[in-house]
Amino acid sequence: MKIAKKLIGDRHFYKKVAIIALPVLVQNIITNFVSLVDNIMVGQIGTEQMSGVAIVNQLIFVFNICIFGGISGAGIFTAQYFGKGDNKGVRDTFRAKLIICLSVTLIALGILIFFHKELISLFLHQSDDGLDLTSTLEYAKSYIYIMFLGLLPFAITQAYSGTLRETGQTVVPMCAGIAAFVTNVSLNYVLIFGKLGFPVLGVQGAAIATVIARYSECLVVVLWAHLNKAKCKFIKGTYRSFKIPKPLVKDIATKGAPLIFNEVMWSLGTTMLVQCYSVRGLEAVSAMNISSTVSNLFFCAFFALGSAVSIMVGQLLGAGQLERAVDEDRKLIALSVAVCVAIGGLLALTAPFFPSVYNTTNSIKDLATSLLRVAAVMMPLNAFVHMAYFTLRSGGKTIVTFLFDSVFVWGVSIPVAFVLSRFTGLPVLELYIIVQSLELIKCVIGFIMLKKKLWVQNLVKEN
């Protein structure tokens, strides 16, 4: 009974979780469902087209995570300032996010514009699967040229949406996500396949639809925030000046620099793992693409609950309610793991269905199904690791999260994947299972750090 009391909350607790997490969950589901539909539609054209788009999306994933990491450092203070009732502090952190987003976007554009061909080529390896690498490269290039236009609106959206969530306005980003979903799916159908009198644009049509959807999502969150200043008090006077108090700049830099470096290194590490799998040929790239796109849809549950940790626990820490923050964090972690046991079971049962809708070879479909079942088994462990990461981050332990996340990927996962992919003939499925099983080590480390309560601290008490 004591254990149940520690791990299970009351009705009020779950109601609060639902208010915060459900809109985030819906938005995540919409975002990942758009990616899935986009992936399936492109997959109807051919395997080379699907692989080219998948490689580009892996590169853009690095940019997306850099934006996320860049604003997360400021977001720690946003949640705690809001919990404290300090609107000026929230406004200053929002300005910092805008500056960070613009800087990251300019750097990313510079790298991708000048080195996109070389980066794409890292994933193209000849094997006996009979797929055309030259065509795949050309499809990827035609896709990324258009996707450049969607980087800035995505970055601005994240700055606004992150601040809205951290200040309790979780429904608005969800509505923006719905607008993006409707726009993307509708235009995908019209532009990829040439419906309603439009020409058949293939992968270029998919890119155009995605970029337009990015702008529609951005427009919704920006307009709502500026038209509802009574609810978004931080927005008043935001653009009168971009001056940020030096102590806060120092705090964000101190807490945020390890965080953004962590996200950059982690996303690059994840991309490097995909590159290791790609050594087994384009067939492996295609199967990994199908598996990751589908599994991300199921991962939405613990992504949303991770956001709940950032918001709920961050606000409690900022309000000085440290014991309550520990209690609610423990119950959120238990909820996330329990939910992911059920969702993982559902994914394992439905795994064969998703690859079957793609216009690709049976061997790619079978491999994708097996990869999905591995992801299903690992889901509860991934949920615990994810929640541990957000817990540590909510208390400003960004250097610890860097060691926990990026150092582990580059120090353990990548060396194992690199050696096994280059120096053994191990099939990609067995290689994937071995690399994924390394998450057990992170679970043990995460449990120890949570048990020691390293993260329990109020960062805005003196500000």
Digit-by-digit pLDDT tens for the chain (463 residues) are: 566 667 676 777 788 778 777 877 777 777 777 777 777 788 788 778 888 888 888 888 889 888 988 888 788 788 778 877 788 888 888 999 999 999 999 999 999 999 999 998 888 876 555 567 788 889 999 999 999 999 999 999 999 998 998 887 878 888 898 888 889 889 988 998 888 888 889 899 999 999 999 999 999 999 999 998 888 888 888 888 888 888 888 888 877 777 778 778 888 888 888 888 888 887 888 888 888 888 888 877 777 777 777 777 777 777 777 777 778 788 888 888 888 899 999 999 999 988 888 877 888 899 999 999 999 999 999 888 888 887 877 776 667 777 777 888 899 999 999 999 988 888 889 999 999 999 898 888 888 877 877 777 665 665 4
Domain assignment present for 460: no
Give me the pLDDT at residue 127, please.
59
Domain assignment present for 111: yes
Structural domain total, the chain: 1
Shortest CA distance to 221 belongs to which of 171, 165, 160?
160
3's torsion region: left (phi>0), alpha (psi -120 to 50) or beta? alpha
Q: Is 37 exposed, middle or buried (0-12, 13-18, 19+ CB in 10 A)?
A: middle
Shortest CA distance to 305 belongs to which of 5, 6, 17, 9?
17
Tell me the helices (H) and strands (E) count for the chain, helix number first. 20, 0
Domain assignment present for 458: no
Q: Is 291 exposed, middle or buried (0-12, 13-18, 19+ CB in 10 A)?
A: buried
Domain assignment present for 459: no
- pTM of the full structure: 0.74
Residues 6+ apart with CB under 8 A from 56: 120, 140, 143, 144, 147
Q: Domain range holding 32?
A: 2-451
Separation between Cα atoms, residue 81 and residue 90, nearest integer Å? 6
Separation between Cα atoms, residue 330 and residue 311, nearest integer Å? 14
- The CA-based angle 261-267-272, given to 5 degrees, is 120
Q: Which two tokens stand for residue 67?
A: 């934006």
Give me the pLDDT at residue 37, please.
77
Read off the amino acid at residue 214: R
Domain assignment present for 339: yes
Question: In this structure, is the dihedral angle defined by the CA atoms of residues 361, 367, 373 and 375, taken in order, positive or negative?
Answer: negative
Separation between Cα atoms, residue 203 and residue 418, nearest integer Å? 31
Domain assignment present for 303: yes
Domain assignment present for 308: yes
Separation between Cα atoms, residue 5 and residue 2, nearest integer Å? 5
Q: For residue 251, give the 3-state DSSP assignment.
A: helix
Give me the pLDDT at residue 417, please.
93
Give me the pLDDT at residue 9, please.
65
Give me the long-range contacts of 410-413 (CB less than 8 A, separation at least 24).
410/265, 410/269, 412/438, 412/441, 413/269, 413/273, 413/438
Separation between Cα atoms, residue 352 and residue 358, nearest integer Å? 11
Read off the amino acid at residue 8: I
- Find tokens 């306005």 and name the residue: 169
Domain assignment present for 463: no
Q: Are 257 and 402 in contact (CB under 8 A)?
A: no
CA dihedral 354, 360, 365, 367 (to 10 degrees): -130
Shortest CA distance to 166 belongs to which of 362, 329, 357, 308?
308
Give me the pLDDT at residue 463, please.
46
Q: Are 460 and 318 in contact (CB under 8 A)?
A: yes
